[in-house]
Amino acid sequence: MGIAKTFLAIGIAVVLTIFVAYGLYALYEMPTHYGAYYGSECQKTYDCNKPIMECEKTYEYGTPNYSAEGRQACEQAVYESNSFKSCQELYKTCTENAYKQSPEYKFARNNFFILIIVAIICIIAGSLLTMFEGIGSGIFGGGILIFIWSLIYTYSFWQHFGKPIKLGAIGLILVLLIFFGWRKLEKGQEK
């Protein structure tokens, strides 16, 4: 592939990625209250900091019980208690479940799947366009960039996957890249 075709491929890959990203932004609007705190009910139910606040009140500056060491010891005892640790765990579970019901999570999930499908289609289409080397390579490269963008743009959804699912998703894209890359590049050179 000559220098002109290389720059054509790079240009197509970058512009295709920008086109898909902006197209998704323009056509699939974010929820209006995106970023709203979704765990306020959890905070009311699991007020884990209440015992710490009691330590602060008991050993507050200007009170007869004032003692920096006493306050620190009281707070340390709270942090090390099983009730505080279980409260923190219950609060974390509650907020994760609340988030998974939120419009933000559904928005990120839908964007993730849309972008992954578009990336796979671009990778396959780019590998099938072997007769147009610069264009096919650009679409193929665009598919790779769209996949990377999907992981960055939808991080709030992606972070809730378990490690095996993340590894499997990345592995699937890697297998697709190797298979279609081999088909496009290696078989194309054999002709």
Residue 32 structure tokens: 């209006």
pLDDT at 38: 61
Give pLDDT tens digits for 112-170.
889 989 998 998 898 888 788 889 889 989 999 998 888 888 777 777 777 887 788 78
Give pLDDT tens digits for 65-116.
777 788 888 888 888 999 999 999 998 888 888 877 888 888 888 888 899 8
First to last CA, the chain: 14
29 exposure class (CB count in 10 Å sphere: 0-12, 13-18, 19+): exposed
What ranges do the domains of the chain cover?
Answer: 3-34+103-190, 40-100
Q: Kindly report the pTM of this predicted structure.
A: 0.67
